[in-house]
Structure formats: structure tokens, C-alpha cells
Amino acid sequence: MSAFFLLLLLMKRIGVMTSGGDSPGMNACIRAVVRAAAYNGLEVVGIKRGFQGMIENEMNLLNVKDVANIIQYGGTILKSARSKDFMSYDGRKKAFDNLKNHGVEGLVCIGGNGTYTGAGIFYKEFGIPSVGAPGTIDNDLYGTDYTIGFDTAVNTALDAIDKIRDTADSHNRVFFIEVMGRDSGFIALNSGLAGGAEGILLPEIMNDFDDLIKHFENKSKRKKEFSIIVVAEGETEGHAFAIADKFNSQFPDNDVRVSVLGHIQRGGKPTANDRILASTLGNAAVEQLLAGNTNVCVGVVNHKVNITSYDDAIHNRKSIDPMLWNLSKILSH
């Protein structure tokens, strides 16, 4: 039996952290990690502010009572930060020394690609096993159908779209609504489809602005006097203001407005779907650590827990659902 496997059999204390951008449901995942660990006889150290808190020794034991009454809150009780210090070997060595002083033998890392990358390097250099849980509203992580926070972000965007639709209808305006998605269009596609958008512009789709122009040029296809266009912030044509200006130059008679939803999409109470997903993945992450797995992340694919290596999650690109994209084109006519 390997020394590594013996260590895992004797594992008594793990750490949990949230890193990168916050997302609704992170608290539910923290809660699940602590309670699943307690169920399996493990102690949990909560690490504040991700890798930076690890370096600065911001760690405390978490018990079941500490995570009571947090499942309904957005954000993260452990806070989050991006750490330049962790990019250096000296920073990672300091983080390792602090973990050892606290008796931490494994990590649950809730975050995205950057979190997985840092955890993978940390294991190679210092041998601290870790399991990742996908916490990002963008839903762009490979190896899971949905990421923690995505469903809430879509519903937050949808609520705003519905409200903007009211004023767009009242004034016969064309609204360009920018949602988050620096490199991916998952939020834009799902909120746009659910919100009855007449156009959706995504980073993954080339020439989608040209298609939008053709749609507006064809008067026979115009079913209503107002329009909602949802734009992912990473759209190749530019941000919503630039796209709206370009559109207005070709259709000067339209009353064009822009709304940028911004960080409102990251906040708020997580939906039931996000609470259940986060709870499932928090428990699964603890189970994977106890099973001796490391450098893997947990996800849900076709309603079943799925395990993906950090390397695959980092280097493979998740694609938008072509069926939903085609459906949005059909329903916008």
C-alpha cells in the first residue's frame, strides 16, 4: 500500500476555500463540505480569501454550527480574492507551511479554471491533494452540465430583461442588454431565449451581428415594434454600447437604448437548482478526497456526478448547446 494512500486513510482534517469570482451557491457548497466531512469523521479548516488567505494564514476550524443558516445567502462566507503571491514558488511554500501548521491534509477548492490550475501546481510541488468544485456563473467549465451560480445568474438576468421589456414596449425602443460572459455566451443564450429576445449575440458565434442586421432589414419578419437584444460581454463585435452605436448607424430611425447588468448577476439568493447542485458537489468533493483522488474536479452530467481531471477541465472548451442556439433563431422570427 502506497504512503500516499495510507495518508488518505488516516486523513483527519481538510481545508475548504472559495477562489476567483463569487457565485450564488458557494455558501451551500461550503456548508455541504463541512457537513459531509463531519459525517465522515473529518475536521474542516475554512480558508479565507482563497490562495491569498492561505498565504496570509487566514484559517479557522469550521464546525456544523458555523455553516448553519448560510445555504440561502449569495456570496461566500469565506470571501474570495485573486492572488498574485500564489503565482510565485515562495508564495506557495508559505501557503504549504501554513496548511501543515493547521494540520490540513487535503483541500476542497471551489472556483474555476484559475483555481484548478493553482491547486494542480500546488500538488505537484508540495503533495497536497485537492478536489475542485465548479463555482462560476459563466457555466464555462468542462466536465459539468452546470456550474454553481449559473442558474441564479440566468434568473437574475431574466428578471431584469422582463422589466426592461415593459419599458421597451411602452416606448417602442430597441434595447441592447449586456450580460456577463467574457469568454462564453451561456448566460446570454439562456436568458435571451427565456426572455424572448429578438437577437442574441455570443462570443462563440461568428457573424451573429450581420445576421441581426439582415433580420431587421427584412421588414416582413418584424413582428413587434420593440426589440430586446441580449449581448454577452465577450461578444467579438464589442460591448453593448459599441454594438448599439453600430446598429443605430444603420437604423437611425430606431430609438436605441443600452442596459449593462454587470455584477448584479453575481449576487442574490441562490435558486433551488443552485443550492441542490452546490450541495451535491460539496459532498462529492469530500467523497473523492476520501477515495484517494486528487487533481480532479466534480461536476454533474446528465444528473449524475461526474469526475474530470484538472488538465481536462482546464484545456477543453465547453460548447454552447447548438439545439438552444437554433431554437433561439427559430423563435425570434
CA 152 and chain centroid, separation:
10
From 150, 173, 138, select the one nearest 271 (Cα to Cα): 150
Quick check: 122 and 130 in contact, CB under 8 A?
A: yes
State the CB neighbour count (10 A cutoff) for residue 145. Answer: 16
State the CB neighbour count (10 A cutoff) for residue 168. Answer: 22
| Catalytic (active-site) positions | 138
State the CB neighbour count (10 A cutoff) for residue 165. Answer: 18
From 34, 3, 28, 1, select the one nearest 16 (Cα to Cα): 34
For residue 156, count CB atoms less than 10 angstroms from its CB and return exposed for 0-12, middle for 13-18, buried for 19 or more: buried
Quick check: 199 and 227 in contact, CB under 8 A?
A: yes
State the CB neighbour count (10 A cutoff) for residue 159. Answer: 15
